Chains A and B, each alone.
Chain A
Amino acid sequence: MKHNLILRFIAKYFFPVIALFALYVQFHGDYGPGGGFQAGVILSVAFIFYALVFGMKTTEQVLPFGVLRILASTGVLIYAGTGVVTMLMGGNFLDYDTLSLHPLQGQHIGIIVIELGVGITVSAVMLMIFYAFANRENHD
């Protein structure tokens, strides 16, 4: 699809819109439908769309595979790490009340942080799987 001008143009302008929507879904999950899982999928879709139009080579320059591997494990680490932090603060595992002096504020911090972890892991794993398939296709 390298010579399709209209598609390339649209892909370029859609990428930031999709990524922005993913961020909205990520951080607005407390108030509306959505959350880390959906946001992660939407963000990975933005990159997949980019990869479909501009090819894997360009996409891997933007987002190398090694970065994805680190991100995928970082997300789980953030989530489980939040649990460990709450334990260090004197609560139970994943008891966000202890994260701040005010329990409700602690809950807010905890939920936003773990949703971020979910979003990072989901988007990184989805892209890892897509990269695995797409790279195989190019070299067979």
Chain B
Amino acid sequence: MIDTLIDITLLAFLTITAIAIIKMRDLFVVIMLFSIFSLHSAGLFVVMDAADVAFTEAAVGAGISTVLMLATLALTKDHNEKRPAHHARIPMLVVLITGGALVYGTYDIPSFGDPHSPAQEHVKPYYIEHSIEDTGVPNTVTAVLASYRGYDTLGEVTVIFTAGIGVMLLIGGRIKRKHKQEDDS
């Protein structure tokens, strides 16, 4: 009973936040609403017993990405989104059709916690039964991430590293070089 109530409350807040994000024109407010949206999603993940995912969502979605978006906003001059000049009929049509197809697709998704869904029956039983004797780590999520799926995590770390290099190449020019450019112009 209380679970259903929490679910409904969180999902209602998510919807309200999403609508507010669409309606708002002040980008500062929109970024703050994005952060609140992430926090609500993190709450939903906790309700679904995915503590590790919730942790990441709260730290990355509500924390770091908000700071980075604010930093980006500080670089721009105008903090208000421009009002579109005409009605977006064709985009609306595309969104409705895509949304309809996605909702139709959800009918094929196994219900939450279904013990016979493919995700539960493939390798998960092995991980749950053997992770302690294989790795000695009580948190199965860590055992899967760091040991069974060590290659994937190495790939993820490399992706983050590459993202850092990419940002450095694009806007990370040292201050000296920037002054030089200003002198040139």
Q: Which residues of A contact B (CB under 8 A)?
A: 25, 29-35, 37-38, 41-42, 44-45, 48, 69, 72-73, 75-76, 79-80, 83, 93-94, 96, 104-105, 107-108, 110-111, 114-115, 117-118, 121-122, 124-126, 128-137, 139-140
Partner of A94, one of B52, B150, B158, B168: B150
Give CA–CA (A108, B143) in the complex, Å. Answer: 10
Q: Is B147 a contact partner of A110 (Cβ separation < 8 A)?
A: yes
Residues of B within 8 A of A44 (CB): 64
Residues of A within 8 A of B63 (CB): 41-42, 45
Q: Is A30 a contact partner of B157 (Cβ separation < 8 A)?
A: no
Give CA–CA (A109, B89) in the complex, Å. Answer: 58
Q: Is B175 a contact partner of A114 (Cβ separation < 8 A)?
A: no
Q: Is A72 a contact partner of B164 (Cβ separation < 8 A)?
A: yes
Q: Is A38 a contact partner of B154 (Cβ separation < 8 A)?
A: no
Give CA–CA (A121, B142) in the complex, Å. Answer: 18
Q: Is A111 a contact partner of B157 (Cβ separation < 8 A)?
A: no
Residues of A within 8 A of B19 (CB): none
Partner of B135, one of A48, A107, A140: A107
Residues of A within 8 A of B171 (CB): 132-133, 136
Residues of B within 8 A of A80 (CB): 154
Residues of A within 8 A of B136 (CB): 104-105, 107-108
Q: Is A76 a contact partner of B64 (Cβ separation < 8 A)?
A: no
Nearest-Cβ distance from residue A47 to partner chain B, whole angstroms: 11
Q: Is B150 a contact partner of A114 (Cβ separation < 8 A)?
A: yes
Chain B residues 40-60 with CB under 8 Å of chain A are 51-52, 54-56, 59-60
Give CA–CA (A140, B51) in the complex, Å. Answer: 42
Q: Is B167 a contact partner of A128 (Cβ separation < 8 A)?
A: yes
Nearest-Cβ distance from residue B165 to partner chain A, whole angstroms: 8
Give CA–CA (A118, B74) in the complex, Å. Answer: 30
Partner of A130, one of B56, B67, B146: B67
Q: Is B75 a contact partner of A137 (Cβ separation < 8 A)?
A: yes
Nearest-Cβ distance from residue A21 to partner chain B, whole angstroms: 11
With contact pairs A37-B56, A38-B56, A137-B71 given, residues A76 and B139 touching in the complex (Cβ less than 8 Å): no
Interface check B92, CB cutoff 8 A: no
Q: Is B55 a contact partner of A139 (Cβ separation < 8 A)?
A: no
Residues of A within 8 A of B145 (CB): 35
Q: Mark B155-174, 1 if CB is under 8 A from A, else 0.
A: 01110110110011001100
Give CA–CA (A79, B152) in the complex, Å. Answer: 12
Residues of A within 8 A of B151 (CB): 93-94
